[in-house]
């Protein structure tokens, strides 16, 4: 795998709709992928990135909600163990540039995952980090931000979604890969 080929995947790429597969081997190749995922996330000015958003159907995501080097976190084969409370906040997604909608998420989460050393760990979080975990877990399960929008926000976002479909849409010849704008007959 050529790491430089890993790029941000945009809606409506069909890979975003697939449930991700568990990771069975933790090795240097995985560590290199994680490093590239952080690069992609920072280039896009994001707080989290699921492997599927880099084109890999793996149960893996990274986050950094602090913006500091010691805020980088890696979650391999994560599971949410507990959620409590609810809070509604505007939420965006790197795979949906410039699209934001108020979404209701749990305010508190407890998660279990494996780190790059192969050690299992559990963490608890509230607010922004808890929201990031839920968002990235949705990606691992093929659930997108537009699936969580209220019917009114889906209607309000129709034009933006259509724009993304036109800009990043895939035709039969692209086999789901991200290309430039798709030529359309007018």
Is the distance from CB of 141 to CB of 135 less than 8 angstroms? no
DSSP letters, 4-65, are: GG-----TT-GGGGSPPBPP---SHHHHHHHHHHHHHHHHTT-SEEEGGGGT--BSEEEE-S
β-pairing verdict for 87-93 and 60-63: unpaired
According to DSSP, residue 112 is labeled: E
Residue 136 annotated in active site: yes
Catalytic one among 91, 136, 165, 166? Answer: 136
Q: Distance between CA 117 and CA 113 in Å, rounded?
A: 12
Catalytically annotated residues:
136
């Amino acid at each position: 795998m050529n790491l430089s080929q890993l790029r941000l995947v945009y809606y409506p790429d069909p890979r975003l709709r697939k449930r991700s597969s568990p990771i069975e081997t933790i090795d240097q190749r995985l560590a290199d992928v994680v490093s590239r995922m952080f690069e992609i996330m920072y280039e896009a000015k994001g707080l989290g990135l699921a492997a599927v958003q880099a084109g890999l159907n793996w149960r893996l995501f990274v986050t950094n909600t602090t913006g500091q080097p010691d805020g980088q976190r890696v979650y391999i084969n994560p599971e949410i163990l507990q959620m409590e409370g609810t809070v509604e906040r505007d939420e965006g997604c790197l795979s949906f540039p410039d699209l934001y909608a108020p979404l209701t998420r749990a305010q508190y989460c407890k998660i279990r995952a494996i780190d790059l050393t192969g050690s299992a760990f559990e963490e608890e979080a509230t607010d922004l980090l808890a929201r990031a975990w839920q968002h990235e877990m949705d990606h691992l399960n093929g659930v997108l931000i537009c699936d969580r929008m209220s019917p009114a926000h889906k209607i309000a976002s129709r034009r933006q979604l259509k724009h993304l479909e036109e800009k990043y849409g895939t035709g039969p010849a692209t086999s789901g890969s991200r290309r430039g704008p798709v030529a359309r007959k007018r």
